[in-house]
Amino acid sequence: MGRIAARLQRWTLRRRLVVVVVALVAVVAAGMGAVSALALRSSLMDQVDSRLVAANERAATAPARFNPDFAGDGSGQTGSGNGSGQADDWRPSPGNSQPGQSTGTVNVYAPDGATDVRADYIDDSGTLRELTDSQVSALLAVPTDGRPHPVDLGGDLGAYRAISSTTTTGATAVTALPTSSITETVTRFVVVEVVIGVLAVLATVVVGLMLVRRELRPLDRVAATATRVSRLPLDRGEVVLAERVAERDTDPSTEVGQVGAALNELLGHVQEALTARHESESQVRHFVADASHELRTPLASIRGYAELVRRSPEVLPDGAVTALSRIESEASRMTALVEDMLLLARLDAGRPLESEPVDLAVLAIDAVGDAHVAGADHTWRLDLPELDEDDEGPLVVGDEHRLRQVFANLLANARVHTPAGTTVTVGVRNVGESVQVSVADDGPGIPDELRDRLFQRFTRGDSSRTRGTGSTGLGLAIVAAVVGAHRGTITAGSGPAGGTVFTLTLPAA
């Protein structure tokens, strides 16, 4: 039972509605059919019973007007008593010799116990026929209470209703009428009803399916709107939520309309929230960009003045020289940080990038060259495809300056975050419609706790170690932002023998 209920729960509303309506129609049709068949049967039975009472009255009053010794040669109006194959001493019953008895009527007349019983029935041609002994005894067994009782006469006669009464002369008069026509009529009625019921159920299925489908179509449209909204990228940038449920599906007087209207309200609300979020985000971005920008000039001044003092011909005390070089190096570090922050703020703001054809192989060669100089204690390898004269290099369309920065950041990481002696391989190759760049090293790999937020801002490993090397944790965030702005992707993984592999894919030019 529970399982059926659970299965029903999983059915679509459409199917459930149709099944319930069809089941309801079937039950109502069956109930109506059963009740009307019973009513028909009982009313037909009443008719037979009233005819039976009348026939029995005629039979019971007959002996007074009827000569019991009548020999039966064309006695009454109902028929000739001398049908073929009847015994010589056969005499018709008084009841069936009465006018007004219909065909099929059975009459038994027992004047005195079981002797001299006269019993016969009127056959379809109106001829009187003798009853068998068993039929007679079945009829005489009917209680003499003046009320109709069912009797089975078997043979040609079948089911009957019989009534038994006492005549004025004290004899027993049993009259019976056939009920086979009632059974026939009721059977035919039931057949017709079943056919009509089946047709009604079929019609309900068809019409129900059509109606339910039509009525639920607005719900589909509302759901489609919600699905479209769910596929919109809402997580960043300025979002325009233009999707709305159509006017015709927002009529609050219908259930579906209420859902549609509620969804529209929700979408409006979400749009407002997103706009507010975007506004505050851009305020923060502007602030960061402005602040970074404003910091550049004083930083340049600090560096300039520090250099000026260091180069002055006057001999400075040792402590002052050390302090000056610290001022210079910290000012450079801060300048780099400010530049990174400014770049990120600009990329966030979606500032258009340069778009010119850039050969990534050239960039890789330059970057590895620079890395050689900066990290002489690492082994640097280049893995470039061998190209024929007329082959296209691994070209992409984008901002060369920014892409150089991507290489620089990845190679700087491979240099700074791995021990001396590490081999770093930079590969560039065309893969289908895109260019793939990989920077692989056989160093210690990226710490597990960083993996999830590797490309987020200010994510960096062991801070005590990296702080000393001037690490800020913006390098990979910038790489990801630049690659994203070029409609590319970047992933970080480990090589077959450990180490780190950064793979970035950019659409080929």
Ligand X SMILES: Nc1ncnc2c1ncn2[C@@H]1O[C@H](COP(=O)(O)OP(=O)(O)OP(=O)(O)O)[C@@H](O)[C@H]1O
Q: Interface with ligand X by CB under 6 A: which residues?
A: 409, 413-414, 417-418, 441, 443, 446, 450, 454, 459-461, 466, 471-477, 500
Q: Which of 56, 236, 15, 63 is nearest to 147 (CA)?
A: 56
Q: Which does 446 bind (CB under 5 to 8 A by kind): ligand X, Mg ion, none?
A: ligand X
Nearest to 251 by CA among 292, 222, 279, 287: 222
Q: Which amino acid is residue 293, in one-letter code?
A: H
Q: Tell me the CA distances in angstroms from 62 to 19, 56, 105, one per residue in order.
A: 63, 10, 15
Stretch that binds Mg ion, among 179-187, 268-276, 305-313, 411-419 (CB under 5 A): 411-419
> For residues 200 and 450, which CB has a smaller minimum distance to ligand X in the complex?
450
Give least dist CB 380 to Mg ion, A.
17
Q: Are strands 128-130 and 379-383 parallel, antiparallel or unpaired?
A: unpaired
> How far are the Cα atoms of 79, 213, 240, 260, 261 from residue 226, in angstroms, in the given order?
88, 19, 15, 10, 12
Q: Which of 212, 227, 289 is nearest to 17 (CA)?
A: 212
Other CB atoms within 10 Å distance of the CB of residue 59:
28
Could you give the angle at the alpha carbon of 389 between the alpha carbons of 386 and 395, nearest 5°?
65
**Residue 459 interface partner, choices ligand X, Mg ion, none, CB cut-off 5-8 Å depending on type:** ligand X
Q: Classify each residue of 454-480 as buried b or exposed e, where b means 16 or more C-beta atoms within 10 Å of its C-beta.
A: bbebebbeeeeeeeeeebbbbbbbbbb
CB of 409 to Mg ion, least distance (A): 6
In the list Mg ion, ligand X, none, the entry touching 418 (Cβ below 5 to 8 angstroms by class) is ligand X
Answer with the entry of ligand X, Mg ion, none that 415 interacts with (C-beta below 5 to 8 A by kind). none
Minimum distance from residue 239 beta carbon to ligand X (Å) = 28
- Nearest distance, CB of residue 460 and ligand X, angstroms: 3
Task: Report the partner that residue 460 touches, choosing among Mg ion, ligand X, none (CB closer than 5 to 8 A by kind).
Answer: ligand X
Least distance (Å) between residue 296 CB and ligand X = 18
Taking the least distance from each CB to Mg ion, the nearer of 156 and 377 is: 377
- Least separation in angstroms between residue 445's CB and ligand X is 6
Closest distance between ligand X and the C-beta of residue 438, in Å? 12
The helix/strand/coil state of 250 is coil
Amino acid at site 333: R
**Which residue's CB atom is positioned nearest to Mg ion?**
475
Q: How is residue 14 written in tokens?
A: 């459409």
Q: Which does 466 bind (CB under 5 to 8 A by kind): ligand X, Mg ion, none?
A: ligand X
Q: Residue type for 390, please?
A: D
Residue 403: name the closest of 357, 466, 341, 450 by CA. 357
482-486: which pairs have CB atoms within 8 A and are 24 or more residues apart?
Answer: 482/347, 482/399, 482/402, 482/403, 482/405, 482/406, 483/406, 484/347, 485/347, 485/350, 485/353, 485/399, 485/402, 486/353, 486/396, 486/398, 486/399, 486/403
Nearer to ligand X, 267 or 446 (CB): 446
Q: Which residue's CB is nearer to ligand X, number 243 or number 340? A: 340
CA atoms within 13 A on the CB side of 464: 0
- Interatomic CA distance for residues 255 and 252, integer angstroms: 7
At its nearest, how many Å lie between ligand X and the CB of residue 9?
50
C-alpha 84/C-alpha 64 separation (Å) is: 28
With contacts defined by CB under 5 A, name the span among 45-53, 169-177, 197-205, 406-414 that binds Mg ion.
406-414
413 interacts with Mg ion by CB under 5 A: yes
User: In the bound complex, what is the minimum distance in angstroms from residue 240's beta carbon to ligand X?
Assistant: 32
Of residues 22 and 414, the one with the C-beta less far from Mg ion: 414
Give me the least distance between CB of 475 and Mg ion, in Å please: 3
Contact predicate 442/423, CB 8 Å: yes
- The binding track of 453-482 with respect to Mg ion, each residue x by CB under 5 A or -, is ----------------------x-------
Residue 137 interacts, among Mg ion, ligand X, none and using kind-specific CB cut-offs from 5 to 8 Å, with: none
Q: How far is the CB of 258 from ligand X (least distance, A)?
A: 50
For Mg ion, the closer CB: 127 or 413: 413
How far apart are CB 466 and ligand X at their closest, in Å? 5
Round to whole Å and give the CA distance between 194 and 389.
Answer: 88
Cβ(415)–Cβ(424) below 8 Å: yes
Cα separation, 448 vs 237, whole angstroms: 30
CB-count exposure of residue 277 (10 Å: 0-12, 13-18, 19+):
middle
Return the number of the residue (358 or 406) whose C-beta is nearest Mg ion.
406
Binding mask 219-238 for Mg ion (x = CB under 5 A): --------------------
The entry of ligand X, Mg ion, none near residue 94 (CB within 5 to 8 angstroms by kind) is none
How many chain residues are in contact with Mg ion, going by CB under 5 A? 2
- Closer CB to ligand X, 171 or 476, in the complex: 476
Closer CB to ligand X, residue 259 or residue 492? 492
Cβ closest to ligand X, residue 148 vs residue 445: 445
Please identify, using beta-carbon distances, which residue of 243 and 441 lies nearer to ligand X.
Answer: 441
- Whichever of 386 and 449 has its CB closer to ligand X, that residue is 449
- List of residues contacting Mg ion (CB under 5 A): 413, 475
